[in-house]
Structure 1
C-alpha cells in the first residue's frame, strides 16, 4: 500500500530532487522510494527484480512523485555507470543517491561456497562502491549532492551465520569513512553519510539463500521498513552527520561492542544461532535471489514488508533521538544549567 505522508511533512518550499534508490524493488529500498515520492521527488528505482520495480514505481506515483524504473545488477559497474547517465538524461542532475541493494547467504561460514561469498561481496559491498563512484563523478564537478549509505549494526558487530553480510557491511563502513575524509579534505559541498539499521521486517528472510535447518528471522526487537525510510530521508536532508543510528538495539550493540567485544562474542556464540531461526522448518522450495531476482519477470511482488508485521515496531525513540541530538544536547545543557543555578541558590540560603 502506498504510504501517504501527513500534510505537515510536505514542505511547501520543497524543491523536487532527483533521487536514486538502489535495491528499490523491496524492503527498505522500497519504503525509502515511497518516502521520497511522497515528498514530491523524482525517484529512479534501481534493482534486478522487474516485478518489484514496477510495483514500486506505481507506489511512488501514487504518493505524488515521479518514478523511473532501471533494472540492473549493481555488481556490474558498467551497468551502474550507464544507469546514472540515463537517470540524469531523463530526470536531471543527481541530488541524492541512496545505496541499499544487497544479497547474502544465511549459513555457517564453512557451508558457504567461495562463489556464493564472492557474489555476496560483489553485490552487497562493491555494488555500493560502484554506485558511489557513479554518483560522485556527476556530483563533484557541480559541488552538490549527497550519498546515503544504508548500513547496519553489523557494520561494527559481526554475528554468526552472517559472515558474508557482516563482512560486506564492515567493508562499507571503512570505505565510507575513508571517502568522507577525502571529501572533507577537498572542501567540496558533496556529502556522504551512513545510517546504521537494526533488525527490520523485510522480505530478505524469505528470499535469501539459507542453509539453516529452520526459517531465518531477524533478532528482536524488529522494526518496520518505514522506520528505516524516515531515517534515510532525514539523512539525505541533513548529511553533515557522519552517521545515524536507528533503534535502541543498534545503539546498545555498538556501545557494548566498543566496551566489551569479547563478552559479546561469547554471548552471540550462545544465543546467535537460535535467535536467528524461527521454530518452522526451512521450506525446500524457498526462493533464492543470490544469482537471479526472486521478483523477476513473472515472479511475485514481495513488497516492503516481510512476514513479521505482528512483531515489528513502527516507531523508534532512539532514531528520533539520533535525528534530534542537537535539540537533546541543548535541553540537557539547559537542564544542567538550571540544576546548577538552583544548587547555587540553595547554597546561598544556607
Structure 2
C-alpha cells in the first residue's frame, strides 16, 4: 500500500543511488546524506546495503534500502515505485552500478560478456527509464550517469566494461537531445571518472596472473562523490570530467587515438597489474560478494596511500566561470602591460 505523502516530503531532495553498497556509490550516498537528502540505496548485496544505510543515517540523511539487480528491468521499475511510495517522489537518480572482468577478450565467454553488458549498460538504461517514468509527469528531476574516461578511450583487459561505458555515452547523448527537443525540465548529465581507490579491484572477475589495480594517478572515491553531487545540482551542463588524468586522456584520444592504441598495447597490461594473486577468481559477476558468504567492502580499496583526496582539475571544472574570468583578466593585464612597455610608459 502506498505511503501517504506527508508535509516532510517537501524538505530535502529524494536521491536514488544504484550500486550504493560499496565504492563510489557508497561515498556518493554519504555525500548526499550530508546535505540532508533522503537517499534510496539500490544494490544486490544486503550486508553492504545495511552498512550503507547506517552511513547515511550517521551523515544526517534518511535511508531506504532496496535490494535489486539492476540488470532486471522490472525489478528496477518496482524499486523506483518503492522509493516513490516511501518518499513521495524522485528528484535525483544516480546510475552507478556496474560489474566487470579483467581478462583478454578471447578469455571472456559470451555469457560473461552479456552479463557485464546487462549490468553496466542496460542497468543504466533501465534505471533511466524508471526515473523518467516518475520525473516526466512532474517535469523536473535530474539523472546523473556515472561514466569514466573509458567511455571514450578503450583499454586492454577491460573490453566488456569499456564497451558498456561507450554505450552509456551514446545513449545519454541521444536521450539528452530528446529531452531538449521536448523542452523538458528533466535534466541528464554524465560524469567521467578517473582511476579510483574503490574495492572493485577485489570484487571483479579476474583471469590475470597478477592482481589487478587502477592505472595511476588514483583518486579517493570522495572526489568522485563530490563531482556527482555537484553535477546533480548543475545538470544543464552535459558532461563533467573529474581528474587531470581524465582530461588528459580524453584530449589525447581526440587528437592522437592511434598513438594511444600503440602506447596502451605496450603498457596497458603491466600498468593494470601488481604483484600478488587475485583475491577472488569468480568476482561478483553473478552474485554479490558482500552477502552471507562475504563482508561489507565499504567505499575504499587498498590503494589509499597513493590516492589523492582532491583534484585541481575538478575545482576548475566546477568553477569554469571564475577560471574564465581569471584567465580573461590575466590576458587583458598582459596585453595592457605589453602596450605600456611598447609606448615607453611604466607598467
User: What whole-Å deviation, never above 9, does each CA across 1:105-139 have from its counterpart, x for those lacking one?
Assistant: 11000000000000000000000000001101111
TM-score by length of 1: 0.94
- Which position in structure 1 is the counterpart of 2:191? 195
Query: Is 2:30 the partner of 1:50?
Result: no
The alpha-carbon deviation at position 141 of structure 1 amounts to 1.3
Quick one: distance in 1 between partners of 2:16 and 2:102?
28
1:302-324 deviations in Å (ceiling 9; x for gaps) = 00001111111111111111111
1:36 alignment counterpart: 32
1:314 lines up with 2:330 in the alignment? no
Q: Which one of 285, 289, 300 corresponds to residue 284 of structure 2? A: 289
2:158 counterpart of 1:162: yes
CA-atom RMSD in angstroms? 1.3
1:277 aligns with 2:273: yes
Mapped partners of 2:208, 2:96: distance in 1: 25
Please say which of residues 26-35 and 328-337 is displaced more in the overlay: 328-337
Residues 1:97 and 2:93 aligned together: yes
Query: Residue 43 of structure 1: SS of its match in structure 2?
Result: strand
Q: Which runs of 4+ in 1 moved over 4 A?
A: none
What CA distance in whole angstroms lies between the structure 2 residues aligned with 1:334 and 1:313? 30
Find the aligned partners of 1:325 and 1:291 in 2 and give their Cα distance. Answer: 42
The 2-side partners of 1:44 and 1:287 are apart by: 28
Gap runs ≥5 in structure 1: 1-13
1:326 matches 2:294: no
SS of 1:53's equivalent in the other structure is: helix
Match of 2:289, SS state, is: coil
Per-residue deviation, 1:339? 2.0
CA contact (8 A) 2:240 2:317 kept: yes
Q: Which residue of structure 2 aligns with residue 299 of structure 1?
A: 294
Q: Tell me by how many angstroms 1:222 deviates.
A: 0.5
Of 128, 152, 171 in structure 2, the residue corresponding to residue 132 of structure 1 is: 128
Give, in whole Å, the separation in 1 of the partners of 2:198 and 2:19: 12
- Conserved 8 A contact 1:37-1:43: yes
Structure 2 unaligned blocks of 5 or more: 1-9
SS at match of 1:302: coil
Residue 24 (str. 1) matches residue 17 (str. 2)? no
Post-superposition Cα deviations, 1:302-350, rounded to whole Å, max 9, x if no partner, equal 0000111111111111111111111111111111122222333334447
Q: Which residue of 1 aligns with 2:264?
A: 268
Helix, strand or coil for the counterpart of 1:191?
A: strand
1:62-97 residue CA offsets vs partner (Å, 9 max, x unmatched): 000000000000000000001101101101211100
In 2: Cα distance, 1:51 partner to 1:113 partner: 29
Aligned residue pairs total: 336
